[in-house]
């Protein structure tokens, strides 16, 4: 490994020198949208979160990899991010649960990264200019070209690249509740939470029609997290529109945004997004402030949605973090209440979904 053998270049020309880690690029280039994550732990869960499809993740915490990798902690079948940026990738990990190191995990899963970067300077720049295309590799001329030509994720359909190709079921066949979960990029911990709450969950592809969901006769419908621009998934929005009022619905992250758009809300693009495990959110029903885990570049505005009640507000920027559609038995949450790892302040929201199904007039 040679120091300063590679370079990271942003689309605006900003340059950072470092060295390559993880999978060998073999003269190639990694390009994508640069975002930063402020979490102090959970790098494995972050790298394997499908919501990062199309993006290069900058970790603000300086040492990444110090507790290794456990096969039990991955959030998806494989990483979907384009690459990672770190200050120091630790190879001498220490943790009784660890089975391998982050570097080896990256090699096995064909994830490349660049280390030795001044991530503080990079993060401050991203906070100013916003999420921006960039690229890294050894050949600076090719990197500059790739950074300039990498498109924005806005308008890109990233969901079809991460959703399950076929339905599958998790949980006890005799569970009290049967939930159909749309997979827009669903995380494993979400499924664990639903199963622990007493649900049998059938996970279906994002393209599954509303009719095909209803013929399964679920007690409730779950809309998962996922990557990118919610308006780039018009079929998903149309399906949710057709499902409103038919069954209780719970949406998280991208699912929350799709639910909002289906109800008539407007999309807003955030400058640099919310990515981290320490975002304060006020519950408007209780006044309680919850520390939450977040990962999204877009938000919704429900001011003009008839019948929508604001339930949660982001205390950093005043953005919508949650809403409910009382007459449709539906609610959405922008943050990640499963938070694995992360704060558990919002875990009660899964019980709210259970309560909504329990109180549904359908009955079973």
Please give the Cα distance from 126 to 137 (Å, whole number): 20
Active site residue 199: no
Please give the Cα distance from 74 to 65 (Å, whole number): 14
Please give the Cα distance from 76 to 47 (Å, whole number): 9
57 burial type by CB count under 10 A (0-12 exposed, 13-18 middle, 19+ buried): buried
Report cis status (omega within 30 of 0) of the bond before 341: yes
In 3D space, the residue among 355, 356, 336 whose CA is nearest the CA of residue 346 turns out to be 336
CA torsion, ordered 351, 321, 158, 14, to nearest 10 deg? -140
Please give the Cα distance from 308 to 329 (Å, whole number): 11
In 3D space, the residue among 349, 342, 317 whose CA is nearest the CA of residue 37 turns out to be 342
Find the catalytic residue in 125, 202, 253, 274. Answer: 253
Active site residue 338: yes
User: Which element (helix H / strand E) includes 89?
Assistant: strand 88-89
279 burial type by CB count under 10 A (0-12 exposed, 13-18 middle, 19+ buried): buried
Active site residue 296: no
Q: Please name the residues in contact with 160: beta carbons below 8 A apart, sequence gap of 6 or more.
A: 206, 207
Please give the Cα distance from 294 to 321 (Å, whole number): 10
Find the catalytic residue in 125, 256, 312, 336. Answer: 336
- Whether 295 contacts 253, CB under 8 Å: yes
**In this structure, how many other beta carbons lie within 10 angstroms of the beta carbon of residue 327?**
10
Q: Please name the residues in contact with 237: beta carbons below 8 A apart, sequence gap of 6 or more.
A: 230, 231, 258, 261, 262
- Whether 38 contacts 277, CB under 8 Å: yes
Active site residues: 253, 336, 338
């Amino acid at each position: 490994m040679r120091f300063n053998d590679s370079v990271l270049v942003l689309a605006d020309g900003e340059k950072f020198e470092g060295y390559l880690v993880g999978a060998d690029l073999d003269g190639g280039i990694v390009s994508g949208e640069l975002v930063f994550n402020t979490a102090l732990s959970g790098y494995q869960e972050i790298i394997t979160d499908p919501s990062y499809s199309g993006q290069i993740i900058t970790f603000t915490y300086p040492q990444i990899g110090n507790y290794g990798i456990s096969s039990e902690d991955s959030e998806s079948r494989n990483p979907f991010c384009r690459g990672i940026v770190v200050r120091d990738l630790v190879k001498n990990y220490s943790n009784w649960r660890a089975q391998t190191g982050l570097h080896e995990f990256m090699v096995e899963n064909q994830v490349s990264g660049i280390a030795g970067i001044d991530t503080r300077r990079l993060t401050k720049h991203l906070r100013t200019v916003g999420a921006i295309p960039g690229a890294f590799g050894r050949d600076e001329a090719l990197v500059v070209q790739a950074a300039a030509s990498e498109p924005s994720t806005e308008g890109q359909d990233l969901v079809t690249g991460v959703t399950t190709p076929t339905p599958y079921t998790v949980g006890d066949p005799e569970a009290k509740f049967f939930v159909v979960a749309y997979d827009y990029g669903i995380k494993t911990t979400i499924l664990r939470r639903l199963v622990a709450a007493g649900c049998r969950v059938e996970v279906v592809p994002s393209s599954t029609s509303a009719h095909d969901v209803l013929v399964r006769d679920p007690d409730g419908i779950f809309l998962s997290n996922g990557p990118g621009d919610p308006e780039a998934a018009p079929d998903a929005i149309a399906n949710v529109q057709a499902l409103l009022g038919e069954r209780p619905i719970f949406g998280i992250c991208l699912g929350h945004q799709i639910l909002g758009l289906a109800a008539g809300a407007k999309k807003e693009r955030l400058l640099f997004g919310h990515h981290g495990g320490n975002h304060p959110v006020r519950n408007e029903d209780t006044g309680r402030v919850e520390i939450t885990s977040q990962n999204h570049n877009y938000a919704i505005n429900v001011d003009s949605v008839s019948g929508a009640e604001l339930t949660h507000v982001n205390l950093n920027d005043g953005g919508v973090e949650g809403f409910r559609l009382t007459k449709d038995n539906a609610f959405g949450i922008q943050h990640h209440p499963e938070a694995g790892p992360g704060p558990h302040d919002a875990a009660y929201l899964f019980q709210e979904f259970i309560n909504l199904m329990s109180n549904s007039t359908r009955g079973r």
